[in-house]
Amino acid sequence: MNKNPMSTNRDNQHNTEGLNSERTGFIRSIICEDLSTDKYGGRVHTRFPPEPNGYLHIGHAKSICLNFGIAAEYKGLCNLRFDDTNPIKEESEYIEAIKEDIWWLGFDWEDRLYFASDYFEQMYEYALKLIKAGKAYVDDLSAGQIREYRGTLTSPGKNSPNRDRSIEENLDLFERMRAGEFEDGSRVLRAKIDMLSPNLNMRDPVMYRILHASHPRTADKWCIYPTYDWAHGLEDSIEQITHSICTLEFENHRPLYDWFLEQLGIHHPQQIEFARLNLSYTVMSKRKLLKLVKGGYVKGWDDPRMPTICGMRRRGYSPAAIRSFCKIIGVNKFNSTVDIALLEHCVREDLNKTSQRVMAVLKPLKVVVDNYPKDQVEQLDAINNPEDLSAGTRKVPFSQELYIEQDDFMEKPVPKFYRLAPGREVRLRYAYFVKCVNVIKNSKGEVVELHCTYDPATKGGDAPDGRKVRSTLHWVSAAHALEAEVRLYENLFTKEKPDNLDTDENLKSNLNPQSLKILKSCRVETSLAAAKHLSHYQFERLGYFCVDMENTENKLVFNRTVPLRDRWAKIRKAQKKR
Ligand code: ATP
Ligand code: MG
């Protein structure tokens, strides 16, 4: 793979900042303890093990930052391993996309790219070993019967009538399962543990099922496939992983993983569980995200409204902003939901430092400056980034006909509206004071054009006589500005915790109909003509925007990454007051 697919990846090498030492305290103390007792010969080796059945989302970013970050911090290694044990759901499209996203986030697996399917033979050998030790058996019960025999949290399980098959018979049947003699679902291999265990995972879990399905990597070599519970711990063991960091729902699978590794007597990583990331106003399960894509509710995995890494990239989030978010939220043991405003805050902080300021008008209203010479054009100096003066200045053209924002004018201004109104004077950024002298309306009574006068003495934005104006507006020169399409985004869901998304009806009732607004006849500064895909800007007073992938020379398309107003600052203030 080309490991540098994204031209905007500004900072691929910063792979050590993904975690906050204090907030990963419990993980670090386990690792420190293991280092001090020399449990793994001083090694720290982690892995990120995605299942290639969808695109990565911001929750995965948390796990990526954690695993690669821990490895970097302890001068260890982190593998990328595709957990491709389920032949039905995996697609090679996902594999490439996952690699691209991890690389873009700024992490490098070097030469350690692995596939669980490469271990199928080894896993099979391990299964034979368990059968020979009398620790696994072939069962003919149907899936429904197995469920029934399993019992519940409050009732014990029941032994299968096949549980006491002889080792010879088990070996024979298991080999014939592999050879393809039996139909899908007709038999399984199960671990022989304890049907009375209070932990349901220990009640003779299934290790192999028959599935006559072609696998993207092993093709038709196998017609039995390992279950997740059987395979996952073995994968970590085979790769000599020292610390298997996973999400909380696997906590009560740990005794099972431990049991398998102990019975086999093979390398035994330390599993450590942490809480998965949930984000408000969105969903994080790949199954639900796939539904949004397949159902056409969004325009693909990289729709800028999606919580996927590629969606966020297209929306204009930088890898540094995502890493900074993961660092701030930290890692803990309790499931909770993080406010999406915090993510946007991190994005804004990052863009504030790095974005060039430009002027753009989203809903144009024409302004004619009556006393400005008709054919004159002045090139005025505008500051590129007040946060970074080394970014310099640029020229913006000023002429008799301009556009301002429709929202910046009110014919009958309400209290506290200080922007343009009949008879009122305001400042045009980097230019002059202008005063509205006439309002032109169409036959429907809508305001279509304003006439103003300007004061030449206020060039650069201040009046020599000291008179003040109460607002400064952004604007573009009508003759020079370029037409552009601008896409504004809001949360994908209206509910903080979208629930019950199983039917299309329910899904629809949770979706935010305002999540995408397309404005087709916006006007932007000339300097944006040659802007590259994904390059980002602050449109003054409007927010941070980036150039969409659909942008061409003939059609400019921008996405609003985030508006300027920081909801998070407000939420924080309110939290502090409480
Ligand atoms: P999903 O529920 O989205 O399908 P998953 O756990 O099935 O997620 P995997 O591809 O198996 O997805 O995930 C790879 C790694 O990412 C796992 O180690 C998992 O623990 C971690 N991960 C997945 N979702 C989250 C999340 N929301 N927060 C933190 N880590 C996550
Ligand atoms: Mg998973």
- The model's pLDDT over 532-551, given as tens digits with 9 standing for 90+, comes to 999 999 999 999 999 999 99
- Catalytic pick from 165, 286, 323, 560? 286
pLDDT band at 24 (very low <50, low <70, confident <90, very high): low
| pLDDT average, residue stretch 412-417 | 97
- Catalytic pick from 51, 73, 401, 449? 51
Span 303-340, pLDDT tens digits? 999 999 999 999 999 999 999 999 999 998 988 899 99
Cα 436 from Cα 370, distance rounded (Å): 10
Question: Over 80: is that where the pLDDT of 23 sits?
Answer: no
Question: Over 60: is that where the pLDDT of 9 sits?
Answer: no
Residue 373 structure tokens: 């010479």
pLDDT band at 8 (very low <50, low <70, confident <90, very high): very low
Cα 366 from Cα 476, distance rounded (Å): 10
Ligand with minimal distance to 228 CA: 2
Query: What is the whole-number distance in angstroms between the Cα of residue 85 and the centre of ligand 2?
Result: 11
3 catalytically annotated: no
| pLDDT average, residue stretch 510-522 | 97
Question: Over 80: is that where the pLDDT of 10 sits?
Answer: no
Q: What's the topology of domain 121-228?
A: Glutamyl-tRNA Synthetase; domain 3 (3.90.800)
Question: Over 80: is that where the pLDDT of 190 sits?
Answer: yes
Task: Give the number of other CB atoms < 10 A from CB of residue 38.
Answer: 9
Pocket residue to mutate for ligand 1, from 24, 63, 322, most atoms within 8 A of Cβ? 63
pLDDT of residue 1: 43
Task: Look at the block and give the residue holding tokens 């009538």.
Answer: 161
Nearest-atom number in ligand 1 for the CA of 287 is 4
The rounded percent of the chain whose pLDDT value lies above 70 is: 96
Question: Over 50: is that where the pLDDT of 92 sits?
Answer: yes
Span 129-187, pLDDT tens digits? 999 999 999 999 999 999 999 999 999 999 999 999 999 999 999 999 999 999 999 99
In degrees, rounded to 5, the angle at the alpha carbon of residue 165 between the alpha carbons of residues 160 and 168 is 150
pLDDT of residue 6: 38
Which residue type, as a one-letter code, is found at position 68? F
176 catalytically annotated: no
Span 235-280, pLDDT tens digits? 999 999 999 999 999 999 999 999 999 999 999 999 999 999 999 9
CATH assignment of 360-480, among 2.40.160.100, 2.40.240.10, 3.90.1150.10, 2.60.40.10: 2.40.240.10
Name which residue sits closest to atom 15 of ligand 1, judged by CA. Answer: 50
Name which residue sits closest to atom 1 of ligand 1, judged by CA. Answer: 285
Residue 365 structure tokens: 């209203």
Query: What is the whole-number distance in angstroms between the Cα of residue 49 and the centre of ligand 1?
Result: 9
Output the CA–CA distances (angstroms, integers) from residue 97 to 56, 101, 309, 325, in the order listed. 8, 6, 10, 22
Query: What is the whole-number distance in angstroms between the Cα of residue 266 and the centre of ligand 1?
Result: 26
Contact present, 163 and 192 (Cβ < 8 Å): yes
Ligand 1: lining residues by beta carbon, under 6 Å: 49-51, 59-60, 62-63, 246-247, 276-277, 284-286
Cα 138 from Cα 183, distance rounded (Å): 14
Query: What is the whole-number distance in angstroms between the Cα of residue 6 and the centre of ligand 1?
Result: 24
Paired sense of beta strands 364-369 and 401-405, if any: antiparallel
Cα 173 from Cα 182, distance rounded (Å): 9
DSSP secondary structure code for residue 495 in this structure? S
577 catalytically annotated: no
DSSP secondary structure code for residue 38 in this structure? T
Pocket residue to mutate for ligand 1, from 60, 83, 289, 335, most atoms within 8 A of Cβ? 60
Name which residue sits closest to atom 14 of ligand 1, judged by CA. Answer: 50
Range of weakest confidence among 85-94, 192-201, 348-357, 404-413: 85-94
Question: Over 50: is that where the pLDDT of 17 sits?
Answer: no
Query: What is the whole-number distance in angstroms between the Cα of residue 387 and the centre of ligand 2?
Result: 42
Query: What is the whole-number distance in angstroms between the Cα of residue 526 and the centre of ligand 2?
Result: 48
Cα 331 from Cα 249, distance rounded (Å): 15
Show me where the domains of the chain are located: 5-116+229-277+318-344, 121-228, 360-480
pLDDT of residue 32: 94
Span 448-474, pLDDT tens digits? 999 999 999 999 989 999 999 999 999
Question: Over 60: is that where the pLDDT of 16 sits?
Answer: no
pLDDT band at 11 (very low <50, low <70, confident <90, very high): very low
| pLDDT average, residue stretch 440-451 | 97
Span 97-133, pLDDT tens digits? 999 999 999 999 999 999 999 999 999 999 999 999 9
Which DSSP string corresponds to 119-164?
GHHHHHHHHHHHHHTT-EEEE---HHHHHHHH--SSS-----TTTT
Nearest-atom number in ligand 1 for the CA of 245 is 18
Q: What's the topology of domain 5-116+229-277+318-344?
A: Rossmann fold (3.40.50)
Mean pLDDT score of the chain = 93
Nearest-atom number in ligand 1 for the CA of 276 is 28
Pocket residue to mutate for ligand 1, from 86, 89, 239, 247, most atoms within 8 A of Cβ? 247
* Backbone angles phi and psi of 457, in degrees to 5: -70, -10
Contact present, 208 and 127 (Cβ < 8 Å): yes
